[in-house]
A and B are shown apart, each in its own frame.
Chain A
Amino acid sequence: MFKKIVCLILAAALCAVGLISCSPAGGNDKNTESLSTGDNSASTDGYKRPPETFPPEEPKWEDTLDEPGEVTVLEREARDYIVGSWGGCTWGSMFYFSDWDDGGIWYQDVNNIQPTKLPLHNDALSDGSDDPFAQLKAACILVDEDATIKNGGAPVLIICGSFPIGYSEDTGIVYKGTMIGSFDTLTNKWTVISDDVEGEPMEMSMYRDTIFFVTATGGEDGYVLHKINRDGSGYSSMENEEPTKLSIGWVHNDVIYYVEYKTLSVCSCNLDFSDRHVLFDGTGVNYVKDVSYVTDDYIYYTVINADGEEDLYRRSLKDISKSEFLLEDATGGFYGDVYYYYSGFALYVLSSLNMETGETKTVYDITDDSDKITKSRYAYGDTYIICEFTYRGSDTSGMHYTCIDLVSGKEWLIPG
Chain B
Amino acid sequence: MITRLILYELRKVFSSSFVKILALLLLLVNIVLCAYSSYTPYGPEEYVDRVLQIYYDDPQYFFSEYARLENEFEHLDPSSDEPSSAYGGGVYYDISLFDKVNEIVCADDIYHDKIDSVIMQVRGICSNYEKAGRTDNCVYRYNKYVLERYTYLYENVKLDGKPVKGWEQYFRYNADYFIVFILITVVSLRAALSDRTSGFYSIASTCRNGRARTAAAKLISALLLSAVIVVLFTAVTFTVSGIAAGGYSDFRNAAQSVYSLQLLPLRLSFGGALAVDLGLKLLSASLYCMILFAVIMILKQSVLSVGVGIGIMFLNYVAAGSNETAAGQWKFLNLWSVYYIDQYAARYRAVDIAGQSVGLTAVLIAIVVCVAAAAFIISLGLYAKNGIFSGIRISSRFTMPEKLRSMFRAKRRASKRVGSNSLVLYEIYKQRAVYIALAAIIVIKVIVTSDYYKPNNTATDTALKSYIEKIGGPYSAEKAAYINEEYEACLEIVSQFDTIQSDWWYGKISDEYYNQLFSRYMSALTDKDVLEYLVNRAEYLGELESRGIVGSFIYDTGYYAYMDQGVDWLLLLFVAVLCCRSYLYEHAKTQSGTSMLMVSNVTELGRKRLFRCKAAVSIMSSAFAWYAFKMIDLFFLMRSYEMPDMTSSLLSMPRYGETLFDLTISNYIIVTAVISLTGTLLLASICFCMGYLMRRALFVYAAATVVITVPYFAASTGVKAAGFFDLTALYDADRLYRLSPGAAPAPVYGICFWAVILFAAAAAIILSMRRAEGGELI
User: Which residues in A have some Cβ–Cβ distance to B below 8 Å?
Assistant: 1-5, 16, 19-20, 23-26, 30, 33-38, 41-44, 47-50, 52-54, 109, 111-112, 114-116, 118-119, 122-126, 129-133, 154, 163, 165-166, 168, 170-171, 174-177, 181, 186-188, 190, 192, 198-200, 217-220, 304, 308-310, 345-346, 392
A34 to B250, CA, bound (A): 14
- Given A25-B253, A49-B63, 19 further pairs, Cβ under 8 A: A16-B275, A20-B271, A26-B271, A26-B272, A30-B156, A35-B253, A36-B162, A44-B105, A53-B67, A118-B121, A124-B143, A129-B324, A130-B324, A154-B132, A163-B325, A174-B456, A174-B458, A308-B510, A346-B507
When distances are taken between beta carbons in the complex, the residues of chain A under 8 Å from B513 are 308
B125 within 8 A of A: yes
User: Which residues in B have some Cβ–Cβ distance to A below 8 Å?
Assistant: 2-4, 6-7, 55-56, 59-60, 63-64, 66-67, 70-71, 74, 102, 105-106, 108-109, 117-118, 120-125, 127-128, 131-132, 134, 137-139, 142-143, 146, 156-162, 250-254, 263, 267-269, 271-272, 275, 324-326, 347-348, 352, 454-463, 466, 505, 507, 510-514, 523
B137 adjacent to A345 (CB under 8 Å): no
List of 3 A-B pairs having minimum Cβ-Cβ separation, nearest first: A114-B124, A36-B160, A25-B252
From B59, B146, B505, name the one whose CB has the most chain A CB atoms within 10 angstroms: B59
When distances are taken between beta carbons in the complex, the residues of chain A under 8 Å from B253 are 25, 35-36
B108 adjacent to A1 (CB under 8 Å): no
Which of A3, A24, A124, A220 contacts B125 (CB under 8 A)? A124
From A115, A176, A218, A219, name the one whose CB has the most chain B CB atoms within 10 angstroms: A219
A50 adjacent to B160 (CB under 8 Å): no
B134 adjacent to A44 (CB under 8 Å): no
A345 to B511, CA, bound (A): 5
When distances are taken between beta carbons in the complex, the residues of chain A under 8 Å from B514 are 345
B121 adjacent to A119 (CB under 8 Å): yes
Sample (25) of A-B pairs whose CB atoms are under 8 Å apart? A5-B3, A16-B275, A19-B275, A20-B272, A26-B271, A36-B159, A36-B252, A41-B161, A49-B102, A50-B67, A54-B74, A115-B120, A122-B142, A124-B117, A124-B125, A124-B143, A125-B146, A125-B347, A131-B324, A133-B325, A163-B325, A166-B454, A170-B460, A198-B455, A309-B512
A308 adjacent to B272 (CB under 8 Å): no
When distances are taken between beta carbons in the complex, the residues of chain A under 8 Å from B3 are 1-5
A256 to B102, CA, bound (A): 59
A219 adjacent to B269 (CB under 8 Å): no
**CB-CB nearest in chain B for A173:** B458
When distances are taken between beta carbons in the complex, the residues of chain B under 8 Å from A16 are 275
When distances are taken between beta carbons in the complex, the residues of chain A under 8 Å from B269 are 20, 23, 25-26, 35
Interface of A is mostly: loop
When distances are taken between beta carbons in the complex, the residues of chain A under 8 Å from B132 are 154
A186 adjacent to B134 (CB under 8 Å): yes
A33 adjacent to B158 (CB under 8 Å): yes
A5 to B2, CA, bound (A): 12
When distances are taken between beta carbons in the complex, the residues of chain A under 8 Å from B105 are 44
Which of B71, B102, B121, B157 contacts A54 (CB under 8 A)? B71
A41 adjacent to B272 (CB under 8 Å): no
From B102, B162, B512, name the one whose CB has the most chain A CB atoms within 10 angstroms: B512
In the complex, how many angstroms separate the beta carbon of B401 from the nearest chain A beta carbon? Answer: 34
**CB-CB nearest in chain A for B505:** A392
In the complex, how many angstroms separate the beta carbon of B167 from the nearest chain A beta carbon? Answer: 13
**CB-CB nearest in chain A for B511:** A345
In the complex, how many angstroms separate the beta carbon of B116 from the nearest chain A beta carbon? Answer: 10
Which of B6, B118, B121 contacts A2 (CB under 8 A)? B6
In the complex, how many angstroms separate the beta carbon of B227 from the nearest chain A beta carbon? Answer: 9
B158 adjacent to A34 (CB under 8 Å): yes
When distances are taken between beta carbons in the complex, the residues of chain A under 8 Å from B56 are 42
In the complex, how many angstroms separate the beta carbon of A415 from the nearest chain B beta carbon? Answer: 10
In the complex, how many angstroms separate the beta carbon of A375 from the nearest chain B beta carbon? Answer: 12
When distances are taken between beta carbons in the complex, the residues of chain B under 8 Å from A218 are 462, 466
**CB-CB nearest in chain B for A192:** B326
A19 to B232, CA, bound (A): 19
**CB-CB nearest in chain A for B74:** A54
Which of B127, B134, B250, B510 contacts A112 (CB under 8 A)? B127
When distances are taken between beta carbons in the complex, the residues of chain B under 8 Å from A176 are 457
B128 adjacent to A112 (CB under 8 Å): yes
A44 adjacent to B2 (CB under 8 Å): no
A220 adjacent to B271 (CB under 8 Å): no
A220 adjacent to B523 (CB under 8 Å): yes
When distances are taken between beta carbons in the complex, the residues of chain B under 8 Å from A26 are 252, 267-269, 271-272
**CB-CB nearest in chain B for A127:** B263
